[in-house]
């Protein structure tokens, strides 16, 4: 595998289910990100992890719970979601240091909440 991979690619879940999204980066980066992409809206940054420590949490509801066990893996745990949470969830990774580094994106997980 190369780049950033995400599984599953599609997920349909009920409002009472618990599921997890997985992201893996094969680029040797030390920062990882979760974004939410909804139609006609800018990408919303949800969480940022740097060196496995969460450094950003942009007022995301607690029904979304991230986990970063190491610099290559990132999870997004989902529980009791709402229909408005249906969206494309994108994972990204980058180097992290004193400069600005481009982010590399995975293909996304298309989530539908019924």
Partner 1 sequence: AQSVTQLGSHVSVSEGALVLLRCNYSSSVPPYLFWYVQYPNQGLQLLLKYTTGATLVKGINGFEAEFKKSETSFHLTKPSAHMSDAAEYFCAVSGTGNQFYFGTGTSLTVIP
| Binding piece for partner 1, criterion CB under 8 A, among 14-22, 65-73, 78-86, 92-100 | 92-100
- Out of 16, 41, 59, 62, name the contact with partner 1 by CB under 8 A: 41
Kindly state the smallest distance separating residue 108's Cβ from partner 1, in Å.
5
Cα torsion angle, 39, 42, 46, 49, sign: positive
- Give the span between the Cα atoms of 79 and 21, in whole angstroms: 11
Position among 22, 43, 79, 86 found at the interface with partner 1 (CB under 8 A): 43
The answer to whether 30 and 36 are in contact (CB under 8 A) is no
Q: Determine if residue 83 is left, alpha or beta; phi over 0 gives left, psi from -120 to 50 gives alpha, anything else beta.
A: alpha
- Min separation Cβ 47 and partner 1, Å: 11
Whole-angstrom Cα distance, residue 47 to residue 85? 15
**Closer of 17 and 52 to partner 1 (Cβ):** 52
Does position 100 interact with partner 1 (CB under 8 A)? The reply is: yes
Residues 6+ apart with CB under 8 A from 112: 10, 11, 12, 13, 86
| CB nearer to partner 1: pick between 4 and 21 | 4
Size of the site for partner 1 (CB under 8 A): 24
Q: Give yes or no for residue 106 binding partner 1 (CB under 8 A).
A: yes
């Amino acid at each position: 595998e190369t780049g950033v991979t995400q599984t599953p690619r599609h997920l349909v879940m009920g409002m009472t289910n618990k599921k997890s999204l997985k992201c893996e980066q094969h680029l040797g980066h030390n920062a990882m990100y979760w974004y939410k992409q909804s139609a006609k809206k800018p990408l919303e940054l949800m969480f940022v992890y740097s060196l496995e420590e969460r450094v950003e949490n942009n007022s995301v509801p607690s029904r979304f719970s991230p986990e970063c066990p190491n610099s290559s893996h990132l999870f997004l745990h989902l529980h009791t979601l709402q229909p408005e949470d249906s969206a494309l969830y994108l994972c990204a990774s980058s180097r992290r240091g004193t400069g600005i580094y481009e982010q590399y994106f995975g293909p996304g997980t298309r989530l539908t909440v019924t």
